[in-house]
Structure 1
Amino acid sequence: MKDRELRKAIALKYEGNGASAPKVTAKGQGLIADEILLRAREAGVPVKEDPSLAALLQSLEIQQEIPEDLYAVVAEIFAYIYRLDKLKEKN
């Protein structure tokens, strides 16, 4: 149960089209984090686990853009997801 209480999940969305940065669209800990992860997987949304980044993003509000100092780290996550999507297209 302790692991579940410590688990954090943050959902990010980047719309492009003039948006300056990705935004937090959902966040939670424990059972809420489990539900976010379950819904993401059910919807076919790739999940990348990074507990240290999740801890940093946890302080942001829903619909808040990520701060500039996290752009590079979050860009790596989006690049990872892009590569996964390209692999799925090939298969």
Structure 2
Amino acid sequence: MAEETTLSPPETAETEGRRSLAVALQEGPAGTPRVVAKGRGKLAEQILAIAFDRGVKVRSDADLAEILAAIDVDSEVPLQALAAVAEILTYVYRASAPPPATGDGPGDAPGDAP
């Protein structure tokens, strides 16, 4: 995974007494995700702005963001959290993939030549 994946609630203002939180992940040397940035409040807004500017998919998951925020920057995500991270990465990859052919246009049916 060459791009960083950002996980955060989309809110940028304080809600329900909790400040916004953003955690950015990137593939580490061993192929496992590592935390490359994290922050609350204004720093979270900056992390999200960078992600949006770079076209990085952002997933809203406050519980997972809180778990990942406990991990030190430049540290790999521990094995216990990898299942949750895998679920998020699956979402990101699916959101990034082109939509499948619907079969409504020419060449979309099996056996049709393009």
Q: TM-score, normalised by structure 1?
A: 0.84
Cα distance in 1 between the residues matched to 2:66 and 2:96: 26
| CA shift for structure 1 position 5 | 5.8
Larger radius of gyration: 2
Cα distance in 2 between the residues matched to 1:33 and 1:86: 26
Give ranges in structure 1 of 5+ residues lacking alignment.
none
Which residue is 2:20 aligned to? 7
Cα distance in 1 between the residues matched to 2:19 and 2:70: 15
Matched, 1:47 2:58: yes
| CA shift for structure 1 position 21 | 1.7
| CA shift for structure 1 position 45 | 0.1
State the AA in 1 paired with 2:78.
P
Which residue is 1:29 aligned to? 40
CA RMSD of aligned residues (A): 2.1
Cα distance in 1 between the residues matched to 2:14 and 2:49: 19
State the AA in 1 paired with 2:26.
K
DSSP-derived class of the 2:37 partner: strand
The runs of at least 4 aligned residues of structure 1 exceeding 2 Å deviation read 1-5
Cα distance in 2 between the residues matched to 1:81 and 1:62: 21
More helix by share: 1
Cα distance in 1 between the residues matched to 2:23 and 2:14: 19
| CA shift for structure 1 position 35 | 0.7
Which residue is 2:76 aligned to? 65
Higher relative contact order (CA 8 A, sep 6+): 1
Q: TM-score, normalised by structure 2?
A: 0.68
How many residues align? The count is 87
| CA shift for structure 1 position 87 | 2.4
Distance 1:12 1:77, change over 3 A: same
Distance 1:43 1:20, change over 3 A: closer
